[in-house]
Amino acid sequence: MTQMLTIARMGHQGDGIAETSNGLVFVPGALPGERVSAEVKDGRAERFDLIEASPDRRPIHSETYAECGVAPLQHWADAPYLAWKREVVIQTLAREGLETEVEATVAVPPASRRRLALHARSGPNGRVLLGFKARRSWRLVELTDCPVSDPRLTAALPALARVAAPFLGHPKSAPTLHVTLTDTGLDVDVTGVEKKSGGLTADMTARAIAAAAEADLARLSLDGDVLMMARQPRVTFGGVSTPLPPGGFLQAAPAAEAAMVERAVEAARGAKKVADLFCGAGTFTFPLAEIAAVTAADSAAASIAALKTGVGTVKGLKPIEAQARDLFRRPMSPYDLKGCEAIVLDPPRAGALEQTQQLPGTKAGVIVGVSCNPQTFARDAHVLVDAGFRLEKVTPIDQFLWSTHVELVGIFRR
């Protein structure tokens, strides 16, 4: 049914929301204040004609992103877009009864993302397509331009398609290339390759290695197993050059990482000993070690090994003790965290409820929560607030440009 709609506000999933006598209607791609004519079914309009545009509407940056939904808000002006992300954080906290200062959203510049997950599929005439899945579909949208990514990633797309070709040899394979731009070149870890019926043949493996060498990749791996390494992929944390394990976690945008690290270090300043939980290969560990001794822990043994390698190459930092430990099944107890006056934790999207529940029993006066999921952050924050901590402030960070995703750093003090 065709309806004339006025968009009242933006929903948390990036859809324009119109209020009607029959309830809310969600209109993807519409902006607050716009009037549209839309075909509505079950409270949703997938297509609409724009009758009156918002003054905040801007030309899109990428046709590919418009189709695939990776950056569904690229047509929104910067100021209202960033203000909306801040409001999402405020509302998410409010639903959990949490009130605090929420700073302006930290913006990340275009052409700066250093990680991409590219789906590979066979196209017409044997051509390999690399790209993202279309919005609400399994169809692949070929990536030809990428305004959010470092230009060196975009320039490598043709070579990466040649690397992907051998992994498409099995009809059940649906490979994804996890591409990371490191200090020493491109690191590619491939997942989604059929293994139950034999996996890659020796010929396919040889072809993949040859294509990787021709593309001058630093490393090529399959589900974390190294197939070829011309140079050790390395990243720099706090001035320390650290090896990156295959498939290892790395913040997607250097500017976002810098904003997170700056706030964590400033909050921990004055502590003699700091804990860095869910530490990865040392994103926060090394900068924190410039001001205090650090106890670091993460479940990924390869990341801890990389961190220890980095420790062995640098002088002048405070002592770093690192251990591989499942912080969900075996969270660090107050005894394990004895002497830690500040704690930094950067868990995955599921949050860190089990670990957070241990923190009130420590002597830490400040806790820094870094999160890629405001919902689980708010849930875990309740544990600390109920135990007498004050959520001093929260900073939203727009790591994934023009997406609905928002990250944050929260500072708690006793």
| pLDDT tens digit sequence for 300-317 | 999 999 999 999 999 999
pLDDT of 267 above 80: yes
pTM listed for this prediction: 0.94
Chain length of the chain: 414
Average pLDDT, the chain: 95
Per-residue pLDDT of 126-178, as tens digits, reads 899 999 987 767 788 899 888 999 999 999 999 999 999 999 987 788 899 99
Q: Can you tell me the distance from the alpha carbon of 190 to that of 343, in angstroms, rounded to the nearest whole number?
A: 34
User: Residue 198 has what pLDDT?
Assistant: 67
Residue 34 neighbours by CB under 8 Å, 6+ apart: 6, 7, 16, 50, 51, 52, 53, 54, 57
Could you list the residues known to form a binding site, using ranges. 251, 278, 298, 346
Q: Tally the C-alpha atoms within 13 A of residue 338's C-alpha that lie toward its C-beta.
A: 2
What CATH superfamily is the domain 2-57?
Nucleic acid-binding proteins (2.40.50.140)
**215: pLDDT confidence band, cut at 50, 70 and 90?**
very high
Q: Domain residues of the chain, as ranges?
A: 2-57, 82-108+253-413, 115-234
Percent of the chain with pLDDT over 70: 99
Hey, which CATH number is domain 82-108+253-413, 3.90.420.10, 3.30.470.10, 3.40.50.150, 1.20.1440.130?
3.40.50.150
pLDDT of amino acid 205: 94
> Whole-angstrom Cα distance, residue 278 to residue 299?
7
Checking if the pLDDT of 83 tops 70, the result is yes
Q: Which of 262, 408, 254 is nearest to 346 (CA)?
A: 408
pLDDT number for residue 211: 98
372 is catalytic: yes
Closest CA to 107 of 72, 125, 83: 83
Predicted confidence (pLDDT) at residue 319 exceeds the cutoff of 90 = yes
Q: Domain 115-234 adopts which CATH fold?
A: OB fold (Dihydrolipoamide Acetyltransferase, E2P) (2.40.50)
Q: Are 269 and 411 in contact (CB under 8 A)?
A: no
Domains 2-57 and 115-234 share a fold: yes
pLDDT at 62 over 90: no
Residue ranges of the annotated binding site for S-adenosyl-L-methionine are 251, 278, 298, 346
The pLDDT tens digits of the residues spanning 182-211 come to: 999 999 999 999 887 667 889 999 999 999
Helix (H) or strand (E) holding 180: strand 176-182
Alpha helices in 251-400 (DSSP H): 254-268, 285-288, 301-311, 353-356, 374-386
- Give the pLDDT band (50/70/90) at residue 257: very high
C-alpha span between 167 and 271 (Å, rounded): 50
Q: Which of 174, 195, 188, 193 is nearest to 227 (CA)?
A: 188
